[in-house]
Chains A and B, each alone.
Chain A
């Protein structure tokens, strides 16, 4: 059977299954908006897909049903006859699907009676509604009768050829593996990783050399294996794009428009789960572009454009995410129309609208039930589509933005995570237990201040936070989870994590923020699915099971609907930034203007008790249970005047220090653009944020104060590491690893590029290079670097798929320090750290390796 078809059947069956409970609820309570909306979505999605699969029975049936449900949705109540009609339609759809699954074709059958009944019901239900509903019916019928629509006039040979060629080559080189098998391997690998970590711990405590080498090898292979398995999950996005040519062809016939499709980057790889999730949203957007964006040939020519419109779908892989852009060269979004509609639907007040930039206005098309189509057509339906698109994209941690130029076209940009399997999460604690919050829902974490920008209040007994100019409801996590009965205390220094899901923004009060970790998300089993509040579980590196909080559920517990209560939210990346913004922490430290530090330099923020601050050797230290951490401060004051002080903990190569401040103001994403250079050694310079003069603190100054030893060793300056690998995949893999270890990384894709930078005078403290590269391999690059006066004898570490003894010998001979397996992050960082520290101590790594060779 056609792959697309069998996927459609599987998908639709799943959706019907998922909607089953809603159907029952609907029968019991026909005025329940939630269930009506979800059934509408079900029918709409089936209609949307079968439209281009030439499933005429289904298309006709679902269109009739959709019209009726749409009426019911608008009126908010359904007659019992209408309910039973919809239920029998769903049954009929399932019957057709069953036949389709067996034979690959729609079974013979006559739906006329049912369709007539649906239509009759829609008319009687729709009498009170002015908008024309049935207008598209003749067009629909035409499309349904014609089993094989003619291809559009515009030929697209290029795209077609490309697709067939790729399919052929791929078929030869791949095998099908059951997803369960891969999941099982993944699980076993995670178990292996845990065991490996335990072994490493044991090895560390008893120094047995004979043990260390095989363990190192085991470690490397394990990391390798883990990454290999992760890659198995990756699929070319082509799988998602293959249905598009057909879709566009059919659309151009249906709409009588000439549309050309351009697909780019279909070899971009990402998680197979995402491929499935994105199918529906992508179809919706392309349909919208074809229907609303592209004009008909006459209008286009009148506007001086080519008769055939273009839809360009492209995928690109950036550092940690995938971007899919769907752009058309049509008329662009109709700003005025959207504004009018937003006003009539009461989504915005005239005053708010007047101040709203166009980009934000465009986002109203993602509101539920928002449609600007003058005429309801079979193609893009009634506006619920874009709502689903936004929800789906956000549900997987992505975001969607719109750009539009009147008369020139519109572009939808989907920014998506690379994988669903691993996601960064914020670990928070409540009543001594750790919980994970998906990072993509977290906006910021704030500490309450009764006199600052984050004030806690009770509004009719319910806790809220005044955050800058916003008032947000708060969930007390402890109470929410039943871990505490205590009433919510409006104390200072309470930690509130601000979350956003869909359109709801709210705070969760937690005891502390423990960590940010990449977690492997696992669903809760069926036996725990009924327990409210959790979206899944994960196993952390230390083997602890941690529950993942259900953010949408938290929002719902506050009575915040995540979709119907729509409010346009501006996304930070609407505007293309030429310079990456830096996440900065704004704080005050004594008198004077507000100060800022890049958040990346701060490992965590703690509120410490003043009694934990002690004086030792003329320096303030934090004495906590015997372990001592030096403290620096930006100003002099009597610290006993306040019971607690916020402290920024700064990790200096494993030797942390604290910087005492008086108040954490905010965390912002801003481009650092120093306007005035620092007038004294404590400040790098000043700039203006939101109209406030802000000093960027020079951390090096304080580090010298607090950790002079570490500073001397060169910790204070971030080491700059040159990473050379021809494969984007490995650069993306290693850059975060290296920067997480506290180094600056410059990643380049070739040896020649690396040499160019070195010759330009860029200072690198060490180089990490792949061995197997086209043009100039790692050995040649090492030779060239050694010959370079600037780089000289600095550390070069090779990375290779297999770091066996032969490779080690070759690497040493080429003047490199060492070689590490490509996936062995732990080893890589350890070697890098050893080498850099040795360098900083004056014992050059090259000398050491030379002496090793001499001894050998």
Chain B
């Protein structure tokens, strides 16, 4: 009951998407450490509050542990630590976004979840070259929005690759 099912609005738009001249991207937005990020809507499964976590000894620091998400153990990743953002998680039961990547489910721990936003193809801008390597590595592209720049995260790199800092 405290796990609101996310309505996959993308599916409703999918049908129309092919026919419209301007392609649009549906992006699920979240914030961590005051920054807004976008997640590709197709990866997002559900949003829930984190309960008990089983830590995984010897795992990289951004891996918080395993969470029982409806009878399935999913790997929980702290987005703040993964992106090396300042501050720490203050809430006891923070929000997590369950995302699917390469057949595996992950829980991405974030500060807050927001709406699904529709961006047009015109709003896409490439990642500027002076963005730090660690950040550029996990950013697929940026959206230029009236409210600011929204980076779209590259989920596969985000969850599968070790952070650049520790890998180097």
Do residues B75 and A534 form an inter-chain contact, with CB atoms below 8 A? no
- Give the chain A neighbours of B58 by CB distance below 8 A: 481-482, 531-533
Interface membership of B91, Cβ < 8 A: no
Given contacts A539-B68, A547-B66, contact A525 B54 (CB under 8 A): no
Interface membership of A18, Cβ < 8 A: no
Most buried by B among A187, A191, A528, A539: A528
Contact with B along A575-608 (1 / 0, CB 8 A): 0000000000000000000000000000000000
- Give the chain A neighbours of B52 by CB distance below 8 A: 543-545
- How far apart are the CA atoms of A527 and B105 in the complex, in Å? 10
Interface membership of B72, Cβ < 8 A: yes
Interface membership of B33, Cβ < 8 A: no
Size category of the B interface is 20 to 34
Interface membership of A537, Cβ < 8 A: yes
Residue of B nearest to A540 (CB): B68
Do residues B71 and A194 form an inter-chain contact, with CB atoms below 8 A? yes
- Give the chain B neighbours of A533 by CB distance below 8 A: 57-58
- How far apart are the CA atoms of A468 and B75 in the complex, in Å? 43
Residue of A nearest to B105 (CB): A525
Interface of A is mostly: mixed
Task: Give the contacts of B48-66 with A (CB-CB under 8 A).
Answer: 52, 54-60, 63, 65-66
Do residues B66 and A526 form an inter-chain contact, with CB atoms below 8 A? no
- Give the chain B neighbours of A193 by CB distance below 8 A: 71
- Give the chain A neighbours of B131 by CB distance below 8 A: none
Task: Give which listed residue, A188, A527, A538, contacts B159 with CB less than 8 A.
Answer: A527
Interface membership of B102, Cβ < 8 A: yes
Interface membership of A358, Cβ < 8 A: no
- How far apart are the CA atoms of A522 and B104 in the complex, in Å? 12
Task: Give the contacts of A414-471 with B (CB-CB under 8 A).
Answer: 433
- Give the chain A neighbours of B54 by CB distance below 8 A: 433, 537, 544-547
Do residues A191 and B104 form an inter-chain contact, with CB atoms below 8 A? no
- How far apart are the CA atoms of A188 and B71 in the complex, in Å? 7
Task: Give the contacts of A505-544 with B (CB-CB under 8 A).
Answer: 522, 525-528, 531-534, 537-539, 543-544
Given contacts A525-B104, A527-B159, contact A482 B63 (CB under 8 A): no
Interface membership of A686, Cβ < 8 A: no
- How far apart are the CA atoms of A546 and B71 in the complex, in Å? 12
Residue of B nearest to A184 (CB): B72
- Give the chain A neighbours of B65 by CB distance below 8 A: 545
Most buried by A among B54, B59, B72, B73: B73
Most buried by A among B55, B57, B59, B73: B57
Task: Give the contacts of B82-126 with A (CB-CB under 8 A).
Answer: 102, 104-106
Do residues A528 and B55 form an inter-chain contact, with CB atoms below 8 A? no
Residue of A nearest to B77 (CB): A527
Interface membership of A190, Cβ < 8 A: yes
Residue of A nearest to B65 (CB): A545
Contact with B along A78-103 (1 / 0, CB 8 A): 00000000000000000000000000
Chain B proximity of A106: nearest CB distance (Å): 32
- Give the chain B neighbours of A190 by CB distance below 8 A: 71-72
Task: Give which listed residue, A433, A525, A545, contacts B68 with CB less than 8 A.
Answer: A545
- Give the chain B neighbours of A482 by CB distance below 8 A: 57-58
Do residues A539 and B57 form an inter-chain contact, with CB atoms below 8 A? no
Chain A proximity of B43: nearest CB distance (Å): 14
Do residues A527 and B57 form an inter-chain contact, with CB atoms below 8 A? no
- How far apart are the CA atoms of A531 and B57 in the complex, in Å? 8
- Give the chain B neighbours of A534 by CB distance below 8 A: 56
Do residues A187 and B59 form an inter-chain contact, with CB atoms below 8 A? no
Task: Give the contacts of B65-81 with A (CB-CB under 8 A).
Answer: 65-68, 70-75
- How far apart are the CA atoms of A503 and B55 in the complex, in Å? 31
Do residues A543 and B57 form an inter-chain contact, with CB atoms below 8 A? no
- Give the chain B neighbours of A525 by CB distance below 8 A: 74-75, 104-106
- How far apart are the CA atoms of A191 and B57 in the complex, in Å? 26
Given contacts A191-B71, A433-B55, A531-B58, contact A545 B106 (CB under 8 A): no
Q: List 23 A-B contacts (CB under 8 A).
A: A188-B71, A190-B72, A191-B70, A433-B55, A481-B58, A483-B57, A522-B73, A525-B74, A525-B104, A525-B105, A525-B106, A526-B104, A526-B160, A532-B58, A533-B57, A538-B73, A539-B68, A539-B71, A544-B54, A544-B68, A545-B52, A545-B65, A545-B73
Knowing that A192-B71, A194-B68, A544-B52 touch, tell me 11 more A-B residue pairs with CB under 8 angstroms: A187-B71, A190-B71, A482-B58, A533-B58, A537-B54, A539-B72, A545-B54, A545-B66, A545-B67, A545-B73, A547-B56
